[in-house]
Every structure is written in structure tokens, then in C-alpha cells.
Amino acid sequence: METLQVTAQTTLIHHLEAFGKNDIDAIMDDFTEESEVWTQEGAVKGMDAIRSFFSYAFTLFPKDSTRLDLKQMIVDRNKAYIVWSAETAMITVPIGTDSFEIEDGKILWQSAAFQIIQK
């Protein structure tokens, strides 16, 4: 079971670092064609849709002007959960949460929920 936890945590850290760098190719390395990202706007399925989702997210969280505060990270076997907040030039996110199901170094399922306050 230890290998699963290390793999899930390593994958999650890679995902968070790639997000912070707005590195779409590194983000996409974490997903498969069968992956899904669920948001308050609905389900995002498949590589093309996931790429579009993160490309848009990078416009809200640009790498040079985003302060992201990771408040909590729990990783247990192939599941992970984070709580975060963020501040950019355009928006404030007082709270956000993401949950992940990770297998063999790939994110099979991610849920994301956050409150955006426009500045």
C-alpha cells in the first residue's frame, strides 16, 4: 500500500507544480483520455476538454501574478484532497477544494469547487 500513497502524492505534487507554472503539457501528462474533472459547471471528460479547462483556468490564475495558499493536503492510498485559497490581480478565491482519484501516476478523476470573487 505504501507505493500507492507515494505515487498518488508524487502525482499530486507534480500536478500542483505544473498548475503554478501554467504548464499545460505537464498538466496533461497527469491525465488519460478516460479522465474526468468535475466542477460546479459540470463534468469535463477527455483530453481535449481537460486541456481547454486548464487553458481557461490559467487565464484566471496567471503564473506571474497568482498567490496560491495550500491550506490542507490529505493523501491516502489512491485518493487525495486539497483545500486552498488564491489571490490574483483579477480575482480572489477565499476557498477552493479539489479531490482526486489517482492510479498508476495518472489522475483518473478530479473534482474542483471554488468561490471566485471578482475584483
What's the pTM value of the predicted model, to 2 decimals? Answer: 0.92
CA distances from residue 96 to 22, 46, 47, 88, 102 in whole angstroms, order as listed = 18, 23, 23, 14, 19
Domain with 56 in it: 2-118
When divided into structural domains, the chain yields a total of 1
Q: For residue 101, give the CATH number of its domain.
A: 3.10.450.50
Give me the tens of pLDDT residue by residue for the chain, a chain 119 residues long: 455 555 899 999 999 999 999 999 999 999 999 999 999 999 999 999 999 999 999 999 999 999 999 999 999 999 999 999 999 999 999 999 999 999 999 999 999 999 999 99
